[in-house]
Chains A and B, each alone.
Chain A
Amino acid sequence: MIEIHELQVMRGGRIVLDVGHLQIEKNEVLAIVGPNGAGKSTLLLALARLIKPERGDIVFNSMPVAGESDHAYRRRIALVLQDPLLFDTSVFDNVASGLRFRGLHKNDITPRVETWLERLGITHLKNRRANELSGGEGQRVSLARALVLAPELLLLDEPFGALDPPTRNRLLDDLRRILPESGTTTIFITHNLPEARQLAGRMAIIVSGRVRQIGSVNDILSSPADEDVRSFLVAENGKY
Chain B
Amino acid sequence: MLFGSEIWQITLLSLEVALLSTLISLVIGLPLGTWLALGKVHGRSFLMSIVNTGMGLPPVVVGLFVALMLWRSGPLGDLNLIYTPAAIVIAQVVISFPVVTGLTAAALQALDPRLRLQLLGLGASTFQMVLMLWREARLPLLAALMAAFGAVISEVGASMMVGGNIRGQTRVLTTAIVLETGKGNFNTAIALGLLLLAITFLVNWALTVIQQRGAKR
List B119-146 residues whose CB lies under 8 Å from chain A.
120-126, 128, 132, 135-136
The residue of chain B having its C-beta at the shortest distance from the C-beta of A146 within the complex is: B122
Are A97 and B122 in contact, with the CB atoms below 8 A? yes
Are A81 and B117 in contact, with the CB atoms below 8 A? yes
Are B135 and A48 in contact, with the CB atoms below 8 A? no
Give complex CA distance A145, B136 in Å: 17
Are A78 and B117 in contact, with the CB atoms below 8 A? no
Contact status of A79 and B122, CB under 8 A, knowing A88-B135, A88-B136: yes
Contact status of A74 and B123, CB under 8 A, knowing A79-B117, A81-B114: yes
Are A81 and B123 in contact, with the CB atoms below 8 A? no
Chain A contributes a number of interface residues (CB within 8 A of B) equal to 25
Chain B interface helix/strand/loop/mixed: helix
Give complex CA distance A78, B120 in Å: 9
Residue A83 is within 8 A (CB to CB) of chain B in the complex: yes
- Report A's interface with B, CB cutoff 8 A: 45, 48, 50, 70-71, 74-75, 77-79, 81, 83, 85, 87-89, 97-98, 101-102, 129, 145-146, 149, 155
The residue of chain A having its C-beta at the shortest distance from the C-beta of B122 within the complex is: A98
B129: shortest Cβ distance to chain A, in Å?
A: 9
Give complex CA distance A1, B136 in Å: 37
Task: Name the one of A45, A98, A149 contacting B117, with C-beta atoms under 8 angstroms.
Answer: A45
Task: Name the one of B120, B132, B136 contacting A74, with C-beta atoms under 8 angstroms.
Answer: B120
Residues from chain A with Cβ under 8 Å of B126 in the complex: 71
Contact status of A102 and B123, CB under 8 A, knowing A85-B112, A88-B135: yes
Are A79 and B121 in contact, with the CB atoms below 8 A? yes
Contact status of A71 and B121, CB under 8 A, knowing A85-B112, A87-B135, A88-B135: no
Give complex CA distance A180, B122 in Å: 21
Residues from chain B with Cβ under 8 Å of A149 in the complex: 122-123
